[in-house]
Amino acid sequence: MFQFPHFARANTRQDLLSGLTVALALVPEAVAFAFVAGVSPMVGLHAAFMMGLIAALFGGRPGMISGATGAMAVVAVALVAEHGVEYLFVAVLLAGLLQLGAGLLKLGKFIRLVPYPVMIGFVNGLALVIFLAQLGQFKVPDASGQLHWLGGPDLYLMLGLVALTMLIIWGLPKLTTAIPASLVAILTITLLVQGLGLETRTVIDFVRGMTGDAGASLAGSLPAFHLPQVPWSLETLQIVLPYAVILASVGLIESLLTLNLIDEMTQTRGNGNRECLGQGLANVTNGLFGGMGGCAMIGQSMINIESGGRGRLSGISAALLLMGFVLFGAPLIEQIPLAALVGVMFMVVLGTFEWASFKMMGKVPKQDAFVILLVTLVTLLTDLALAVFTGVIVSALVFAWQNARQIRAQRCQEGEILVYRLSGPLFFASSRRFGELFSPQQDPQRVILDFADSRVCDHSAIEAIDSLAERYQQAGKRLQLRHLSPDCRRLLRRAGDLVEVDLAEDPLYAVISELQD
């Protein structure tokens, strides 16, 4: 089921450097998402470490970064607020088991049902979410704990450092790609701020602002086994199951869509079912070791890919370095300016947003343009899972409506027999229009439906054929079918006595039919 990964030596150096870059960016993200979920920063940092390490080892997409995410945090906050963090650990454990089940049942393949306009809307919406999340770094708490926007020299310094970070990331690859530009930018801005003694907010300022603890630190320990302290009863299951289902769904959708995006960027192919297993194992571990759970992180994954990280070693090194910072390097990591990390994330936004979608709007069908805008908007207002579900449903309804209008019937005479030559699929959306194509009272005694260019797709189609057969029977006329494809014949045969049967005429099919060449 799980295979221990093999590491290619060709990209080892680049994977390690990109992993370091990602680890630096993971620290404030994990703290922020822990705050959103209503848990301590160390719960978020432990989750980022366990998710990143296990998903990188056993997941289906080398180079993809997993950790504590906002999509999972917004689901967890209600459970934590009402029942406490111990119930969150149970929900994460159960979500992991559900994800393992999805992987064993090979449900990862169903991500292929997500249409391309939904993917574009997902990417654009997520880019905007990442951008808006960074604006919070331009706010500082006052003496009463209320946040307000930076102003004056502080704001200008912050903007200048962000712009310099972005300039380094943009310009350095034109000179050399030996070292990830994002890592160089972070180190340069940190040395500049420390060397010149510039007064700007750092990672530790962010942590202390989030926790309200002036003595807070990122220093901590390794996660330890922790069986959730809850009553193991049916009542507990009833409390956590709805949250677990949502956590599992959100985690898999975001992870599999991120996997598809990286597939397109790298021109390689990940394994969706294996990714379900890797995410599930990571969340089970989180539930048993006191983590808040998580899934794939598109922002950090983009940083990794753009920094040259392609192998599993990049994700593994990012997780291990993150834990190394917590154990041994907290004083150094705490001094990184937030402006450097904001600049890195702004470059991720620019690289993630599908700018070609603006040109695309006037060239693609209107319904596809509508789906792109809809998914983007729903992503901004709610969450990624709901946005993707909404986009898929709307796309499916549009597809059904368009195909429902394709059903046609061409009339032609073959002697005394009237033949209706059908074209287009016969299914639930086209069944009513199908019934309107015929006139049993005016038609001759014998009528043939030719399905050479049509298909019987579902039970609604069978019911429509049966209803039409009854109309001809009531008119004292004979209706026959021909040129049914083998799968259509099997569908009708399985219907059994749900439709009219004349065994004397045709013992194989569920309606009177006649196959003619």
* pLDDT digit string (tens) for the chain, length 517 residues: 555 555 556 578 899 999 999 998 888 888 878 877 888 889 999 999 999 999 999 999 999 999 998 878 878 888 998 999 999 999 999 999 999 999 999 988 888 788 889 889 988 987 888 888 888 888 887 767 677 888 899 999 999 999 999 999 999 989 887 788 888 999 999 999 999 999 999 988 888 877 778 888 888 899 999 999 999 999 999 999 999 998 998 899 889 989 988 998 888 889 999 999 999 999 999 999 999 999 999 889 989 998 889 899 999 999 999 999 999 988 988 899 999 988 988 988 888 888 888 888 888 888 999 999 999 999 888 777 788 889 999 999 998 888 888 899 999 988 888 999 999 999 899 988 998 999 899 999 988 888 888 888 888 888 888 888 888 888 888 888 888 777 666 666 665 544 443 322 333 434 444 434 3
Instruction: List strands edge to edge, sheet with 478-482.
Output: 408-414, 417-426, 446-456, 478-482
* Identity of the amino acid at 498: L
The one-letter amino acid at 161? L
Q: What is d(CA 211, CA 203) in angstroms, rounded to the nearest whole number?
A: 12
- pLDDT, position 3: 57
Q: Are strands 478-482 and 446-456 parallel, antiparallel or unpaired?
A: parallel
User: Is the model's pTM score more than 0.85?
Assistant: no
∠ CA 333-336-338, rounded to 5°: 130
What is d(CA 473, CA 481) in angstroms, rounded to the nearest whole number?
14
CA dist 373 and 375 (Å) reads: 6
Q: What is the distance of C-alpha 102 from the center of its chain?
A: 15
Give me the pLDDT at residue 157, please. 95
Element (H, E) at 449: strand 446-456
What's the confidence (pLDDT) of residue 4? Answer: 55
What residue ranges define each of the domains in the chain, with the CATH number in brackets?
Answer: 10-352 (no CATH), 405-498 (3.30.750.24)
96-150 pLDDT, tens per residue? 999 999 999 998 888 878 888 988 998 898 788 888 888 888 888 776 767 788 8
- Please count the residues of the chain: 517
Residues 6+ apart with CB under 8 A from 469: 479, 499, 500, 511, 512
User: In the prediction, which pLDDT does 5 show?
Assistant: 58
> Locate tokens 């994330």: which residue?
345
Please return the burial class of 39, using the count of CB atoms within 10 Å of its CB with bins 0-12, 13-18 and 19+.
buried
Query: What is the rounded distance in angstroms from the CA atom of residue 277 to the CA atom of residue 188?
Result: 39
Query: CA-CA distance, 112 to 257, in Å (whole number)?
Result: 9
* DSSP-H helix ranges across 63-115: 70-83, 85-104
